[in-house]
Amino acid sequence: MQQRKLGPFSVSAIGLGCMNICHAYGPPVSDAQTERLLLSALDAGVTHFDTAALYGFGASETLVGRFLSKHRSRFTLASKCGMQGVDVAGDGKLVRVIDGRAETIRATCEAALKRLKTDVIDLYYLHRWDKTMPVEDSVGALSDLVRAGKIQAIGLSEVSATTLRKAHAVHPITAVQTEYSLWTRNPEIAVLQACRELGAAFVAFSPVARGFLCGELDVSAFDAKDIRRSMPRFTPENHAANTRLLPGYLAMAREVGCTPAQLAIAWLLHRGDHILPIPGTRSVEHLMDNLGAANVVLSADVMARLDAHIQQKTVSGNRYNAQANSEVDTETF
């Protein structure tokens, strides 16, 4: 597996996002399936595993800790705080809450360390900037965790270039993690360049456009709790419009001699050497397909045609609904 820099760490060019195993796209998979997936990734050369307190309200961190902690020296571990499940009503039901206060960040980190069965988290992100306070305050709390030896490096998720620069002035930011793919180009407005200037890596989640760039999707078959049901691009009207982009895209994959998912991930790898895709999956078959993108070489002509075919002007619908858009700080076209 090719290697790329993630701050002070050298990691596999393609990492593994660990949300899907318990969160967002339907019921959690079995523990046996999760163990097989995580260990298969490790054996295939993946050394960058990304999770969060939010995913399954701690379930993802627990599973990563259960199945990978004995191999802790073999990989770089990333997790996130600042957005987690909280029993707001006192009825035992957890709801998602964005909270960037220092005391919450400290408590979330301590709980994460226990779930992950580790003494230190290599890269700890602020999952969302809590807009009720300056980002500098939350980053200051994270820098306290660095000094305490609880975490090694700080990251931010879904922030603008302006917010990144404010945070970086408090403590060096190792990475920014934001959705980035052929059909989500927001990072190209400013954050990609800001990361390059500051020496931060850019970690791209949802590199295959939440499954859209893997081929035909049956949106009517989505699980009742599938988060894509609330995403405008997957409404019947927008999805029908976006599906018209697929024949040309699939033809380019055939021309290159790779799978559709590999084409999407390879496009990201070719966009810059500071970009690290972290596709998520529940399937070992899909995992191995995704990792094959590291060996795909795209010509300048193919890159140009991909750029022209799928981008913000050709895709129908926003990536998030109004509520989710209000929670992020990314620039928009």
Q: Around Cβ 255, how many Cβ atoms within 10 Å?
A: 11
Instruction: Output the six-digit token pair for 79.
Output: 């997790």
| Rg (alpha carbons) of the chain, rounded to whole number | 19
Q: Which residues contact 15 (CB under 8 A, 6 or more apart)?
A: 46, 47, 48, 49, 50, 203, 276, 277, 278
Of 121, 120, 80, 70, whose CA–CA distance to 100 is shortest? 80
**125 is an active site residue:** no
**Nearest-angstrom CA–CA distance, 189 and 181:** 13
Q: Which of 25, 55, 124, 320 is catalytic?
A: 55
- Whether 277 and 213 have beta carbons less than 8 Å apart is answered as no
- What is the per-residue DSSP string for 25-82? SSSPPPHHHHHHHHHHHHHTT--EEE--STGGGGHHHHHHHHHHGGGGGGSEEEEEES
Q: H or E element: which one contains 140? A: helix 135-147
End-to-end Cα separation, the chain, in angstroms: 35
Look-up of token digits 């894509």: 228
**Nearest-angstrom CA–CA distance, 28 and 38:** 14
How does DSSP classify residue 101? -
Q: Which residues contact 269 (CB under 8 A, 6 or more apart)?
A: 13, 14, 275, 277, 293, 294
- Whether 304 and 235 have beta carbons less than 8 Å apart is answered as no
Q: Which residues contact 14 (CB under 8 A, 6 or more apart)?
A: 1, 46, 48, 265, 269, 276, 277, 278, 279, 290, 291, 293, 294
Catalytic sites, residue numbers: 55
